[in-house]
């Protein structure tokens, strides 16, 4: 966003120098990604070809690597993905903003640069001690350096040529926001007019026997049919397989080793010494495998069941869990301060990890699915291979998240555009841990939700509505049947919830109730010592006593109004600019083909 040009000058330099100016050779990147699309993307008619994207991506990588904190870091897969996304966002920003520069006829000359350096220089320059006098920026010192050092002058000029137009555009957009003294006076009064009191919350009434009939549900459904209109959606069935999970063979291999340790211990080897020498639980091996005391549901079930079933001092045979194989010895037992059982145990753990052979075998099995599914059916093949078949929730046009795999443009595109029954290629996550295959299982156009599916929501709504109506009538009766000075006592007798509302304004949240603007407004309009009317809102039913009012300090406002004007203007301008930029992107015609090139 444009405000970052002033606040984060280094980021601007990376955008301008490394992304939009520096050209990098494609090198060994070309050919890594197969694709069918003709270009990586198109933004408002501007086509980004493969080489242009790679050039800018490589420049982005160089910019990342040149930062001090990254000099000793390797470029991992996650960082690569982030930099690819940054490269894309740079293109979007550059193309859309360049159009805005032309639309607003923004051009700069040398005099504009001089004026900007005098009045609004880059923060990195402004804060350098050599360009300050008594801690204050001194343009004359900068001008002297510019005159003496041609290379420095050329760098500053290039930088200003690249950033100043965007600063000017930002000023133009933000200038549409005007804040005057009357505006901030009203806001100040609203913010600082406050009230305190006590609230009776009738939602705590113990109401039973609220019944909603099938006829009432059907009547509501038929009278509010448009409320149940649903957008088109697609569903997909899929498998999610962790290829790093050990196989039976992997467990069997480690079982031989744990059996040998168990045999040695049963023949007299010291348990603690064996734990120190062989256990792979680094959190306790140096303590002889001592786990201390623990209660139920603190360990995995298989481990817990055995530990609690042992007699004191008894050593278990090898126990299998998702972590590997354990030998457990129960050292003691006790009750905790709540009287619940705890055991003291120690263990030896030999971890079980998937061997390369196991991983290759399961990946090969997954890779067979797309072809086999065409002949035998997706679910049949997956179940035969022992893979659990799941189904996504309804994916709509605007959906950006795929259950199982997350935000993946390629998978989303497959699900949204493919035919019923079509099976995807094999996908994997960034860590090469989970593998996925999808099959499109259901597609439905614009439709009305079935009454059967809508029943639960309608029933809850009508029950709440009936309960609210009943509560409102009870609250009105409460007010009619009792005198104001009896309300608090009667509320306590009825076990109604009483809440202190301290120093609230129109938008304040009342502890224990939340933000209920109708309640706040009613309290602000009620004189001190009086009670409000019964207030019925979507959130509930309330009756409140006002105990004090506090008015805004207008003398303080007069003393602070200049700073308030400045801060309010800046806040509203930034908000306006953010909304402007969001709409600019929403209205743009953006075609994103990065997934086809492997850039997502």
Dihedrals φ, ψ of 353, to 5°?
A: -125, 155
Section 457-473 average pLDDT:
94
Distance CA 440, CA 309 (A): 48
Cα 479 to its chain centre, rounded Å, is 46
Is the pLDDT at 78 greater than 70, yes or no?
Answer: yes
State the angle between helix axes of 554-587 and 150-174 in degrees (0 to 180), rounded to the nearest 10. 100
Among the ranges 25-39, 191-205, 403-417, which has the highest mean pLDDT value? 191-205
Question: Residue 600's pLDDT is what?
Answer: 65
Check pLDDT > 90 for residue 89: yes
DSSP state at residue 591: E
For the ranges 17-26, 122-131, 533-542, 546-555, the lowest mean pLDDT is seen at: 17-26
Residues of CATH 3.10.50.40 domain(s) within the chain?
248-353
Alpha-carbon span 411 to 196, nearest angstrom? 55
Cβ neighbours for 268, distance < 8 A, ≥ 6 positions apart: none
Flag the least confident range among 177-191, 291-305, 522-536, 583-597.
583-597
Q: Residue 120 — very low, low, confident or very high, per pLDDT cuts 50/70/90?
A: confident
pLDDT digits (tens, 9 = 90+) for 320-371: 999 999 999 999 999 998 899 999 999 999 999 999 999 999 999 999 999 9
pLDDT at 499: 96
Q: What is the pTM of this model?
A: 0.57
pLDDT, residue 410, reads 83
Tens of pLDDT, residue by residue over 317-330, are: 999 999 999 999 99
pLDDT in tens, 195-230: 999 999 999 888 888 899 999 999 999 999 999 999
Burial 549-573 (b: 16+ CB within 10 A, else e): eeebeeeebeeebeebeeebbeeeb
Q: If one looks up domain 248-353 in CATH, what number appears?
A: 3.10.50.40
pLDDT of residue 361: 94
Burial of 12 (0-12, 13-18, 19+ CB in 10 A): buried
pLDDT at 34: 38
Long-range contacts of 546-551 (CB under 8 A, 24+ apart): 546/195, 546/196, 546/197, 547/196, 547/197, 547/198, 548/195, 548/196, 548/197, 549/193, 549/194, 549/195, 550/192, 550/193, 550/194, 550/195, 550/196, 550/503, 551/192, 551/193
412 confidence band (pLDDT: 50, 70, 90): confident
Between CA 425 and CA 414 the distance in angstroms is 10
Q: What percent of the chain shows pLDDT beyond 70?
A: 93
Check whether 526 has a pLDDT greater than 80: yes
The answer, yes or no, to whether residue 13 has pLDDT greater than 90, is no
- Quickly state the pLDDT bin for 232 (edges 50, 70, 90): very high
Residue 117 pLDDT exceeds 70: yes
pLDDT at 257: 97
What percent of the chain is modeled with pLDDT above 90?
74
φ, ψ of residue 302 to 5 degrees: the values are -60, -40
What's the average model confidence in pLDDT over 105-130? 89
Q: Token pair for residue 569?
A: 């203007």
d(CA 183, CA 563): 14
CA angle 169, 171, 177 (to 5 degrees): 120
Asked if the model's pLDDT at residue 567 lies above 90, the reply is yes
| Domain 232-245+357-445 part of CATH 3.10.50 | yes
**Average pLDDT estimate for 483-509:** 95
Write down the mean pLDDT value for the chain: 89
pLDDT of residue 443 exceeding 80:
yes
pLDDT value for 71: 79
Lowest mean pLDDT among 4-13, 132-141, 449-458, 533-542: 4-13
């Amino acid at each position: 966003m444009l405000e970052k040009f002033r606040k984060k000058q280094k980021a601007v330099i990376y955008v301008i120098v490394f992304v939009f100016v520096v050209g990098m050779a494609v090198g060994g990147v070309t050919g890594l990604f197969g694709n069918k699309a003709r270009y990586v993307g198109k933004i408002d008619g501007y086509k980004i070809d493969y080489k242009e994207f790679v050039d800018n991506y490589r420049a982005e990588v160089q910019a990342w690597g040149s930062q001090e904190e990254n000099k000793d870091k390797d470029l991992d897969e996650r960082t690569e993905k982030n930099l690819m996304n940054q490269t894309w966002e740079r293109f979007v920003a550059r193309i859309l903003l360049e159009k805005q520069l032309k639309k607003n006829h923004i051009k700069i000359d040398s005099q504009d640069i001089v004026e900007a350096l005098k009045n609004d220089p880059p923060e990195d320059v402004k804060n350098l001690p050599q360009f300050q006098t008594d801690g204050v920026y001194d343009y004359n010192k900068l001008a002297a350096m510019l005159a003496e050092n041609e290379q420095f002058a050329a760098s500053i000029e290039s930088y200003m040529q690249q950033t100043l137009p965007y600063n000017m555009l930002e000023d133009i957009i933000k200038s549409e926001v005007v804040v005057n003294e009357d505006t901030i006076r009203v806001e100040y009064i609203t913010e600082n007019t406050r009230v305190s009191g006590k609230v009776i919350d009738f939602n705590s009434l113990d109401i039973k026997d609220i019944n909603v009939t099938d006829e009432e549900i059907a009547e509501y459904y038929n009278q509010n049919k448009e409320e149940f209109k649903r957008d088109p959606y697609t569903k997909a069935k899929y498998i999610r397989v962790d290829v790093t999970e050990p196989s039976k063979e992997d467990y069997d291999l480690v079982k031989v080793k744990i059996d040998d340790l168990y045999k040695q211990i049963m023949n007299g080897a010291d348990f603690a010494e064996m734990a120190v020498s062989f256990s792979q639980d680094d959190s306790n091996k140096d303590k002889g495998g001592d786990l201390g005391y623990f209660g139920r549901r603190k360990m995995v079930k298989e481990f817990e069941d055995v530990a609690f079933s042992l007699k004191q001092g008894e050593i278990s045979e090898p126990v299998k869990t998702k972590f590997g194989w354990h030998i457990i010895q129960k050292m003691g037992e006790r009750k905790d301060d709540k009287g619940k059982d705890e055991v003291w145990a120690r263990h030896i753990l030999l971890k079980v990890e998937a061997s390369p052979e196991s991983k290759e075998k399961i990946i090969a099995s997954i890779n067979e699915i797309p072809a086999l599914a065409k002949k035998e059916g997706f679910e049949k093949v997956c179940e035969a291979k022992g893979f659990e078949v799941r189904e996504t929730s309804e994916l709509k046009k605007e959906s950006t998240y795929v259950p199982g795999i997350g935000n993946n443009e390629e998978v989303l595109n497959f699900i949204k555009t493919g035919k019923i029954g079509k099976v995807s290629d094999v996908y994997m996550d960034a860590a090469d841990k989970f593998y996925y295959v999808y099959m499109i299982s259901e597609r439905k156009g614009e439709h009305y939700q079935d009454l059967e599916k809508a029943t639960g929501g309608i029933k809850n709504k009508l029950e709440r509505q009936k309960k609210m109506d009943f509560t409102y009538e009870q609250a009105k009766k409460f007010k009619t049947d009792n005198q104001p000075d009896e309300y608090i006592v009667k509320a306590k007798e009825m076990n109604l919830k009483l809440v202190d509302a301290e120093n609230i304004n129109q938008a304040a949240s009342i502890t224990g109730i939340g933000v209920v603007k109708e309640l706040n407004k009613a309290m602000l309009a009620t004189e001190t010592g009086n009670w409000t009317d019964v207030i019925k809102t979507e959130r509930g039913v309330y009756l409140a006593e006002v105990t004090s009012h506090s008015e805004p300090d207008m003398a303080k406002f007069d003393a602070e109004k200049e700073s308030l004007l400045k801060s309010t203007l800046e806040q509203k301008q930034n908000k306006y600019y953010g909304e402007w930029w969001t709409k600019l992107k929403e209205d743009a015609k953006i075609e994103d083909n990065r997934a086809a090139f492997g850039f997502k």
